[in-house]
Structure 1
Amino acid sequence: MQKPLLFQPLKLRGVTAPNRCVVSPMVQYRATDGEVNDYHLVHLGKFALGKFGIVFTENCAVEPRGRVTQGDLGMWDDGQIEGHRRLVRFLKQEGALAGTQITHSGRKGSTPRSFDKPGQLGPEGAGWQKWQTVGPSELPADKGWTIPRQLEAADIEDLVKRFGEAARRADAAGYDVIEIHGAHGYLLAQFLSPISNKRNDQYGGDRAGRMRFPLAAARAVRENWPEHKPMFIRVSAVDGAGGWEVEDTVVFAQALKELGVDVIDVSSGGLTGLSTALPVKRSLGFQVPFSAAVKRQAGITTMAVGLILDGPQAEAILQAGDADLIAIGRQALYDPFWALHAAQELGCDSDFEMWTPEYGWWLDKRKNNLVGLKK
């Protein structure tokens, strides 16, 4: 019997994901000076034990002011590489591809953590301080947000180099997959949308001008990322503010494909405020139609994300040809063994053979002991 698509390998350039289950990048706010620590090893390591095919770190800033909060991971300094190496070793040891996401927050940086109390900025006693944010134009992300400093052309050229340098460090750390965060209202998305980009130079104006910096950053990453390793980019198919729509994303995806981007990670929204998806109405798989449109119209591999809760739902998305990979975010926090449970739901691991053997033999024995027992 053929395995479900969700558990069939996917070759991406010179590496192969053992299955199509992916842990989506999710910020944790637990870093100091951008460094990987024990928390990140345990947090991400459990997903590798849960047999996700690709495990992504949270977004790693390409420079300190590119963080969302001071607790974010970084990829701006060579001194950060060794911490990433330790994490990568464990993820790969458990059979997962190790992925990382690089980003710049732009005008959405220098913020409290999502769960901080009003007036609180980070952990009590940590001494976190706000910094001057930057953006394509001097427009805040929302009412009450910091007004960013408009980036000069020389600043943009410097940031392009920083994206390339971050890719070099990610390779030195041993990551198999790299993703650029170009969604959710962070810096690259700010340049793409005419709502946030009011420039009248080569980096603004029409769609081609607004795409110039994001494409330059993608080119720099590809040039500094080994040819045999795949490159993803996360996009907001619609910006949620009426400035950037699916047809724009298709054109952008086609240009990215020409630069050597392999996978479009299709999300939505987030240009203004804290939310990543408003005002896109949320329902099960609410972003899957965006993935399907980009996949079919741009002719590129896509990853679907957004309220995908179980194996049958994920398998139906793949069988319909609406995506090639399934990214699981908060549902993976709820169930770090989501991939293994999905395999059981789909009938391809009744004997716990996909589990790490230290767990699997116990669980198979337990299953046999439960036969005939009544509640």
Structure 2
Amino acid sequence: MPSKLKIDPPLLNSACPWSTSLEDIKELYDSPYTGAVTIRTSLLEGFTHDDSVHQYIFFTPGKTIPANAPKGEESNPKGSKSTTEQTPSSATSSSSAEPVSTLNTLGYSHLTLSEYLGIINEIVGQRHLGTDTPTKKPFILSVTGTPDEISMAYALIANAAEMDEDLRLAMEVNLSCPNIAHASPPAYDPAQLAEYLEAISDSKSTYRGRMATPESVPKVGIKLSPYTHAAQFDMVVAALRAAKSNEPGESCVVDFLTCTNTLGSSLLLNDALEPVLHSESGTGLGGLAGAALHPLALGNVATFRRLLDQTPETKDIAIIGVGGVEDKAGFDRMRKVGANAVACASALGRYGVRVFESITKGE
């Protein structure tokens, strides 16, 4: 199964709260067990984070959640890991050995795309000094916004790649966050999806002639919502087949899919029968991830791989499988159903960067 996005080893993080700060990103980059680093989803102008609204919690499905259970918040605007380290030992899990899921009502990063490009330059720049970042692995910059803003985001990323040959950059267009009030994820809407694919096509065409080699043109992927019936999968694949590149040797303008994002409209009630989390909508509804999402994520990866492989326009699209992987068995399941690489979010928040070593070694 050929891949247009090279991630070796085929293990990385997905865009999440634990890939927000310089410290987060450098730790992920320095790990010999990650083949790429995904930056938390950003906007051109940043996102206004509010601790009283944008929250997350670890929980064990079927277990009662105490009303005073600690919630993950981002009180430290620099992205402190303090809440990450506290959460796995919180009262939301009756045993550290149990599979843990997450629910979140988060939006996007408060840092802008330009700030993240600066962070990446700082990390990669240390390579020239012979310090502790000897590898050159890809950074996947997760971005969102309108189609026009996505075009501008690609321009920023392509310009950065053009100026420094040591930067291996890709762009992931997040079309699937379920937590933004009054904004349905474009990944569910064929008309919106087509608009974004057109913007991606135009952006890649603009910069292809300027880059030193075709390989240096930043790869582009889309982060998809979880789908639950055949018509949804067919809609996405039809859009991808229609988004053909005019360049020789290219089939689709999209190089990879990140599959899948969190499952929206999920709700947790505490022992007082009140919503555990706050949210922009005021309902406490959020995105479900971790162990509870794993079977659906596996099904999404398997279905997309089967459908993509059926036509030459889409067979080379890579899939980054994400959803509930926290050990080698989960990694192996994702690879078995067709993931070119496997990403973790909830497990990263629960265990820290050491989770990638554990997965690799089967510990």
If the TM-score is normalised by the length of the shorter chain, which range does it land in?
0.5 to 0.7
Task: Determine which of 280, 285, 297 is the counterpart of 1:287.
Answer: 297
Q: 1:157-184 CA distances to partner (integer Å, 9 max, x unpaired)?
A: x435423323334525724322121222
Note closer, same or farther for the CA distance 1:27–1:50 as it changes in structure 2 (3 Å cut): same
Following superposition, the deviation at residue 325 of structure 1 comes to: 0.8
Q: Which residue of 1 aligns with 2:23?
A: 42
Note closer, same or farther for the CA distance 1:49–1:101 as it changes in structure 2 (3 Å cut): closer
Aligned residue runs from structure 1 range 294-309, under 5 A: 294-299=304-309, 300-309=317-326
- Would the aligned equivalents of 2:12 and 2:343 in 1 still touch at CA under 8 Å? yes
Aligned residue runs from structure 1 range 69-84, under 5 A: 72-75=110-113, 77=114, 81-84=117-120
Note closer, same or farther for the CA distance 1:168–1:42 as it changes in structure 2 (3 Å cut): same
> Mind listing any 5+ residue stretches in structure 1 that lack a counterpart?
1-9, 31-39, 107-155, 195-206, 347-375
Aligned residue runs from structure 1 range 51-200, under 5 A: 51=32, 52-64=34-46, 72-75=110-113, 77=114, 81-89=117-125, 93-95=133-135, 97-104=137-144, 158-159=148-149, 161-171=151-161, 172=163, 174-185=167-178, 190-193=185-188
Following superposition, the deviation at residue 256 of structure 1 comes to: 4.9
- Would the aligned equivalents of 2:40 and 2:108 in 1 still touch at CA under 8 Å? no
**1 or 2 for the larger relative contact order (CA 8 Å, sep ≥6)?**
2
Q: Percent identity?
A: 11
Note closer, same or farther for the CA distance 1:46–1:81 as it changes in structure 2 (3 Å cut): closer
User: C-alpha distance in 2, partners of 1:69/1:236?
Assistant: 15
- Would the aligned equivalents of 2:170 and 2:220 in 1 still touch at CA under 8 Å? yes
Aligned residue runs from structure 1 range 14-53, under 5 A: 16-27=6-17, 40-51=21-32, 52-53=34-35
Q: 1:248-295 CA distances to partner (integer Å, 9 max, x unpaired)?
A: 2222343457443221111145566662348x9925443111011111
- Would the aligned equivalents of 2:260 and 2:321 in 1 still touch at CA under 8 Å? yes
Normalization by structure 2: what TM-score?
Answer: 0.58
- Would the aligned equivalents of 1:58 and 1:101 in 2 still touch at CA under 8 Å? yes
- Would the aligned equivalents of 1:12 and 1:230 in 2 still touch at CA under 8 Å? no
Normalization by structure 1: what TM-score?
Answer: 0.57
Between 53-62 and 225-234, the greater mean CA deviation after superposition: 225-234
Aligned residue runs from structure 1 range 181-220, under 5 A: 181-185=174-178, 190-193=185-188, 207=190, 209-220=191-202
Q: Which amino acid in 2 is paired with 1:74? A: T
Following superposition, the deviation at residue 12 of structure 1 comes to: 4.9
User: C-alpha distance in 1, partners of 2:345/2:262?
Assistant: 16
Note closer, same or farther for the CA distance 1:190–1:306 as it changes in structure 2 (3 Å cut): closer
Q: 1:302-328 CA distances to partner (integer Å, 9 max, x unpaired)?
A: 11111111012212331x243111011
Between 300-309 and 209-218, the greater mean CA deviation after superposition: 209-218
Q: 1:120-150 CA distances to partner (integer Å, 9 max, x unpaired)?
A: xxxxxxxxxxxxxxxxxxxxxxxxxxxxxxx
> Mind listing any 5+ residue stretches in structure 2 that lack a counterpart?
50-105, 245-250, 266-280, 310-316
